Amino acid sequence: MTRPETIAFALAALTLINALTYALFWSDKRRARAGRWRVKERTLLLWSAAGGWPAAFLAMRTLRHKTRDRAFRRRYWGVVVTWFAGIAAVIYASR
């Protein structure tokens, strides 16, 4: 069984990762509007894969950012599917 401290740490880490992911999407949107240097798509996807995919989804919807880029969306949804597959594998293995 998992200790409560471990769960609390994991939730805190995921909260921080999601906050940083949203901030990166916001920053990239702001830079795009200003015609400045952009955050690399790879960076956005890596933060999404690190656990920030819910914030990335929220950012794409609320900021209307990266919604037209089909290649990015395809890679993003690949990250989400991989996360759910990983969660399913952990649940299956713990039985």
Ranges of each domain in the chain: 4-93
d(CA 93, CA 52): 24
Q: What is the pLDDT of residues 20-29, one digit of tens each?
A: 999 999 999 9
Q: What is the pLDDT of residues 52-69, one digit of tens each?
A: 999 999 999 999 999 999
Specify the 3-state DSSP secondary structure of 90: helix
State the chain's mean pLDDT as an integer. Answer: 95
d(CA 68, CA 45): 16
Q: Is the pLDDT of residue 1 over 60?
A: no
pTM value is 0.89
For 22, how many CA atoms within 13 A lie in the half-sphere containing its CB? 13
* CA 69-28-22 angle, 5° bins: 95
> How many angstroms from the chain centroid is the CA of residue 44?
7
pLDDT band at residue 4 under the 50/70/90 scheme: confident
